[in-house]
Amino acid sequence: MILLDTSVLIEMFRVKDKTATYFYQLSKTDNEFAISILTHYEIFRGSSNFQDIFWTNFLKTIEIIPFDIASSNEASKIYKLLKAQNKMIDFADLLIAATAIAHGLSLATLNLKHFGKIPDLHIF
C-alpha cells in the first residue's frame, strides 16, 4: 500500500490528461492506496462545493489512515530532529510523513523539497 501525499492528488485533479500524472504511473505498479487524515483535511480545506463531490466519490476507493498515537510519537521525533538541524517543514507535511513511517508505508509525493529532509521516510 502506498500513502499518497496531497500533491499527488492535486496534480491528478488539475491535469486534463490523467495519463500524464504521477498517480496514473503509480496505479500501473500498485493498486492499493491510502491517504492520511491530514491529506483528507488539506483536500477538503481547499475545495469548492463542486469539487467536494468529486473528492467524496474518489476517496471512497482509498483507505484513510488516522493520526494515532504511533503517528504522534513519530511526529515528535521528526519535529525534534528537523528543529535541531534547522530544517523545519510545513507542519501538515511533518504529520503526513509521521503517519507513513508509523504505519510502515511508502509515501508518494511531488514535494521532495520537504519530504526529502526526513531520513526514515521511504519515498516511493
User: b/e map of 21-36 (b: 16 or more CB within 10 Å)?
Assistant: bbbeebeeeeeebbbb
45-74 confidence digits (pLDDT tens): 989 988 999 999 999 989 999 999 999 999
- Residue tagged 462545493 (cell numbers): 49
Q: Cβ neighbours of residue 5 under 8 Å, at least 6 residues apart?
A: 39, 93, 96, 107, 108, 109, 110, 111, 115
80 found inside a domain: yes
102 found inside a domain: yes
27 found inside a domain: yes
Give the pLDDT band (50/70/90) at residue 121: very high
pTM above 0.85, yes or no: yes
Q: Which of 109, 114, 35 is nearest to 67 (CA)?
A: 35
DSSP 97-109: HHHHHHTT-EEE-
Q: What CATH number did the domain enclosing 9 receive?
A: 3.40.50.1010
123 found inside a domain: no
100-117 confidence digits (pLDDT tens): 999 999 999 999 998 999
Q: Which of 3, 28, 25 is nearest to 109 (CA)?
A: 3
Determine the distance from the C-alpha atom of residue 77 to the mean position of all C-alpha atoms in its chain, rounded to a whole number.
18
106 found inside a domain: yes
121 found inside a domain: no
- The answer, yes or no, to whether residue 29 has pLDDT greater than 90, is no
Counting the structural domains of the chain, the total is: 1
53 found inside a domain: yes
44 found inside a domain: yes
- The answer, yes or no, to whether residue 40 has pLDDT greater than 80, is yes
Give pairs for 94-97: CB < 8 Å, separation 24+.
94/118, 95/36, 95/38, 95/67, 95/71, 96/3, 96/5, 96/6, 96/36, 96/38, 96/39, 97/121
Domain interval for residue 72 = 2-115
